[in-house]
A and B are shown apart, each in its own frame.
Chain A
């Protein structure tokens, strides 16, 4: 009898943890959605921030800035990590390279666990200090580093999932090695790799910590890529900890926009993956 009661009780606890996690998400979401919608207006998307203390204005520079930063980061990090992924996948059976590959894979694994704030101060000392100013380039550099381990790993895994027979068929037709890799294996693994890239993009879109001392933020339009640049998460942070009521309102509006962008990217990546599965 006692065993049955304990059993029912534990089952109840397990079921309720499923309910609790849904409740937490709902609790957080309801605030973001309700406060966000109440705070959003056209100005938010088309106006620059107003001077300190003045009401109104928007975050258009931060929204554009975020896209620029993420675009620049992808521009350098995506090719490098896909190429590295190809290398890891193609040479993993090669005896001569095995030590280098082992070390590289380990270090990339290590990199994926490094807190983003640490990557931020690294980019600061490597780029901001020599340039003597905060810049979009430094911000994009630090965001790109965060993308590296994610994309390298998915590229390698997806390429390894391509059946051997496909490679052999291509090579058997006399197609050269590199063409087989690029036009046959990479093409077959493409949906998976794109999913990985999109997930990395979704992640860096919301990153704030690595931008604090690199992109720095800007209340105006940036004049060039070597200038400080605004970004949506940075602006939300600055407004959230400010003492102004109207800025709090805009922070909620920013949060809603940010989360919609991030979820949209994740949604597309899921769609792509499901379509090709």
Chain B
């Protein structure tokens, strides 16, 4: 009997030790980022986030161009991906039969499984030439008066980054939206249809409206992925530290500047500035994820209670 107890205790102690290890590791990750950022943060303070100058020669560091690049490329990705993902999610939850549903789910998981470096490779050699040769000149011809479509079409630019990101986040947004739609009870749909609503009206009233919060959650989750995405963006965005209104202008993001410059950061301050950017990325993505999960969870749970 004593022996049995001892073995039990040992085993569960081991599992506890593994758990504590995980906990310590994650806390260490956070503390390490803070520690390495201190030097730059003490020197520049909050000015770091509003200064446009990023100059390793004169040791002046400001993250605004990268914040701008991250925000614009991610929002662009959401604008492109949102209607498409919503369409796919509705198709899966409201229209597709079980065979078609299975098929499309496989397609989406294949798309989600493509490593980001391959998206980048495809972006450099397939997407960028198409943008440079056809899409951007075309946009310029029609909407050239808008500042966002001004300047020389370059191909490796903000637009390319936005498009690549939009493809990469579509699986996330569409599959989570689908889950939310499916959590909305059938009875709501039947009620709308029985009152004579067309299928689209039914979707509007008894799917999209009750799922609104969850959809916002799915979009924010996609945004979180877009903000942190590194390789594909680094490969297609052109990596120029300038803020330009034009989508045809190369840019850089928080993640891409780390990928590009970390290895050549020779001074402590340079390194520390890059760590500060890493810490910013860490905090922002965590906030987005927490908000998103809360929104998705609260929507799906609301309807589970009803059932």
Contact = CB atoms under 8 A, between A and B. Distances in A.
A182 B11 CA distance: 10
A115 B118 contact: no
Contact of A113 (B36, B85, B224, B278): B224
Contact of B33 (A108, A122, A202, A262): A122
B107 A25 contact: yes
A145 B25 contact: yes
Contacts of A176: 4, 7-8
B290 interface: yes
Contacts of A182: 11
A205 B118 CA distance: 12
Contacts of A126: 28, 32
Given A118-B278, A236-B118, A240-B121, A31 B258 contact: no
A233 B91 contact: no
Interface stretch (B59-67, B141-149, B228-236): B228-236
Interface range on chain B (Cβ under 8 Å from partner): 35 or more
A115 B255 contact: yes
Contact of A3 (B83, B122, B124, B201): B201
Contact of A84 (B22, B255, B285): B22
A220 interface: no
Nearest to A7: B198
B200 interface: yes
B228 A103 contact: no
A17 B18 contact: no
Contacts of A11: 95, 199-200
Given A80-B18, A108-B26, A122-B32, A114 B285 contact: yes
A176 B9 CA distance: 11
Interface stretch (B109-117, B182-190, B240-248): B109-117
Given A17-B83, A114-B282, A202 B113 contact: yes
A115 B285 contact: yes
Interface string A121-147: 110111000000000000000000100
Nearest to B120: A240
A113 B117 contact: no
A119 interface: yes
Interface string B75-100: 00000000111111011101110000
Contacts of A81: 18, 22
A18 B87 contact: yes
Interface stretch (A43-51, A53-61, A189-197, A251-259): A251-259
Nearest to A106: B290
B307 to A, nearest CB: 20
Q: Which 6 A-B pairs have the closest CB atoms?
A: A206-B115, A17-B87, A115-B228, A83-B18, A113-B289, A178-B11
13 contacts: A3-B198, A10-B203, A24-B111, A84-B21, A87-B19, A107-B22, A110-B290, A115-B255, A121-B278, A125-B36, A148-B22, A178-B11, A209-B259
